[in-house]
């Protein structure tokens, strides 16, 4: 056990969307190790009431400015000097965006960069590639005001488009009844499906993945996890099946708004009204793409912006070997003794190789063994006694981006 890698820099990333304003704080040493240390989120509903005339409402602007001011104070208190503030759909589409940006700047001192739809898609995909190791497939980000769909080929962003299929927006447009009427839901589904239909490349082939990110997906994963008593607390890498999603949609549709929270465990109050529209966008995307499940990504736009800083000057900013990096990052954060764990790994792998006839395992198992060797001591940070148990707890709590949940658990168990 040596000292953890000191994380020298602190970066705050603010993302002002149609439903919520979010801040993440990341500490990092460029190219070596990083840790997200805080995430703040405020529901500001900046896109509220915009459907009619594409104007940001005064009250909504006020809420957004308050939230940004609060984030700034938080950053100050936590010695975060460097901030990247970006705005997405609501601001992008607003006819009064110049006015809003000026007020925002005057009140908070921050100059927001308004991302184009393609940029938004691009940075979201960067977050996905660097946290899931996605080589080929589709990525979708369901927001409050818009939904971005992107195509990834050979581990690179190929293209991305944005459509006005955000959860807040669709709720306002289609879902009037309480409970929502079947006909309303059907019209919404139609609208979403036909919008996706226009993207002729929106298909996943065998072995490809459809990855979903954003608040809606995280919320759906949380609900689904509760319903099936999923044993892990991880959202990132969670697989949401279309069959289960369809059942959930039908159930939520029939519930009046005030009963949703009580009857849908895992649903959070600030999403109760828009969750149905969000779930339907996801379901129609799966149908359109011909996929039976969506892999949920816990990272996205904000992390994508972070990776660009973290990996500078690499272009594209993509972690070279994600699975290896995830393991090393965790080890570095917890101060593993590199010489020691490498020695342990060498011995373990040598045994593995010499016994290969006896056990018959292959390359994946060999990799798990390597990962477990690297991480077997990190639990010492909790307490020396039972540190193997603590190592497993840390691995399962933080997750290992690039590994599936099952693989993560296997690696944790190997160390026990």
Sites of contact with other proteins (CB under 8 A): 1-4, 36-39, 66-67, 69-70, 73-74, 77-78, 233, 235, 266, 268, 335, 337, 339-340, 380-386, 389-390, 393-394, 397-398
Measured between alpha carbons, how far is 224 from 296 in angstroms, rounded to an integer?
Answer: 12
Angle at 91 between CA 79 and CA 140, to 5 degrees: 85
Nearer to other proteins, 26 or 129 (CB): 26
Smallest distance from the beta carbon of 215 to other proteins, in angstroms? Answer: 14
Nearer to other proteins, 73 or 182 (CB): 73
Smallest distance from the beta carbon of 200 to other proteins, in angstroms? Answer: 38
Nearer to other proteins, 52 or 77 (CB): 77
Smallest distance from the beta carbon of 21 to other proteins, in angstroms? Answer: 12
Nearer to other proteins, 38 or 407 (CB): 38
Smallest distance from the beta carbon of 298 to other proteins, in angstroms? Answer: 8
Enumerate the H helices of 37-147 as residue ranges.
Answer: 58-77, 89-93, 97-108, 117-132
CA distances from 93 to 54, 55, 118, 160, 317 (A): 7, 8, 14, 17, 28
Contact (Cβ atoms closer than 8 angstroms) between residue 281 and residue 244: no
Contact (Cβ atoms closer than 8 angstroms) between residue 142 and residue 212: yes
Smallest distance from the beta carbon of 85 to other proteins, in angstroms? Answer: 17
Nearer to other proteins, 330 or 414 (CB): 330
Smallest distance from the beta carbon of 339 to other proteins, in angstroms? Answer: 8
Contact (Cβ atoms closer than 8 angstroms) between residue 399 and residue 408: yes
Contact (Cβ atoms closer than 8 angstroms) between residue 98 and residue 119: no
Nearer to other proteins, 58 or 364 (CB): 58
Measured between alpha carbons, how far is 358 from 348 in angstroms, rounded to an integer?
Answer: 15
Nearest CA-CA partner of 310 in 58, 75, 84, 59: 84
Smallest distance from the beta carbon of 106 to other proteins, in angstroms? Answer: 15
Nearer to other proteins, 4 or 164 (CB): 4
Nearer to other proteins, 67 or 114 (CB): 67
Nearest CA-CA partner of 143 in 251, 247, 253, 271: 271
Smallest distance from the beta carbon of 306 to other proteins, in angstroms? Answer: 14
Nearer to other proteins, 98 or 339 (CB): 339
Pairing relationship of beta strands 9-16 and 82-87 according to DSSP bridges: parallel
Smallest distance from the beta carbon of 3 to other proteins, in angstroms? Answer: 5
Nearer to other proteins, 225 or 253 (CB): 225
SS3 content of the chain, % helix, strand, coil (to 5): 50, 15, 30
Question: Could you tell me which residues come within 8 angstroms of residue 386 by beta carbon, excluding any fewer than 6 positions away?
Answer: 379
Task: Please list the residues that pair with 161 across neighbouring strands.
Answer: 149
Smallest distance from the beta carbon of 67 to other proteins, in angstroms? Answer: 8
Give me the DSSP letters along 380-412.
GGT-STTHHHHHHHHHHHH--TTS-HHHHHHHH
CA distances from 377 to 237, 324, 330, 386 (A): 25, 17, 11, 10
């Amino acid at each position: 056990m040596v000292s953890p890698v000191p994380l020298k820099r602190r970066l705050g990333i603010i993302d002002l969307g149609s439903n919520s304003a979010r801040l993440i704080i990341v500490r990092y040493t460029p190219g070596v190790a990083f840790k997200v240390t805080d995430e703040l989120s405020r529901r500001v509903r900046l896109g509220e009431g915009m459907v009619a005339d594409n104007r940001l409402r005064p009250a909504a602007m006020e809420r957004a400015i308050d939230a940004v001011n609060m984030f700034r104070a938080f950053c100050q208190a936590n010695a975060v000097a460097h901030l990247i503030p970006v705005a997405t759909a609501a601001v992008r589409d607003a006819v009064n965006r110049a006015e809003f940006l000026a007020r925002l700047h005057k009140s908070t001192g921050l100059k927001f960069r308004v991302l184009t739809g393609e940029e938004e898609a691009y940075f979201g995909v960067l977050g996905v590639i660097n946290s899931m190791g996605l080589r080929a497939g589709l990525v979708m980000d369901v927001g409050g005001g818009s939904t971005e769909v992107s195509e990834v080929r050979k581990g690179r962003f190929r293209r991305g488009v944005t459509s006005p299929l955000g959860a807040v927006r669709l709720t306002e447009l289609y879902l009037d009844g309480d409970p929502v009427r079947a006909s309303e839901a059907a019209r919404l589904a139609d609208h979403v499906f036909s919008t996706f239909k226009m993207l002729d490349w929106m298909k996943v082939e065998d072995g490809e993945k459809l990855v979903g990110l954003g608040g809606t997906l995280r919320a759906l994963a949380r609900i689904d996890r509760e319903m099936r008593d999923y044993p892990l607390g991880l959202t990132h890498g969670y697989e949401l099946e279309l069959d289960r999603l369809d059942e959930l949609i039908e159930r939520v549709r029939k519930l009046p708004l005030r009963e949703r929270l009580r009857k849908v465990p895992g649903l959070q109050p600030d999403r109760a009204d828009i969750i149905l529209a969000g779930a339907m966008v996801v379901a129609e995307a799966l149908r359109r793409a011909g996929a039976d499940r969506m892999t949920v990504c816990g990272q996205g736009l904000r992390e994508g912006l972070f990776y660009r800083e973290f990996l500078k000057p690499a272009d594209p900013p993509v972690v070279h070997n994600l699975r290896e990096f995830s393991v090393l990052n965790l080890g570095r954060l917890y101060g593993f003794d590199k010489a020691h764990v490498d020695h342990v790994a060498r011995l373990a792998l040598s045994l593995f190789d010499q016994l290969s006839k006896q056990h018959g395992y292959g390359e994946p198992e060999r990799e798990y063994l390597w990962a477990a060797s690297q991480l077997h001591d990190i639990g010492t940070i909790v307490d020396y006694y039972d540190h193997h148990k603590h190592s497993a707890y840390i691995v399962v709590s933080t997750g290992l981006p690039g590994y599936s949940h099952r693989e993560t658990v296997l690696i944790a168990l190997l160390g026990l």
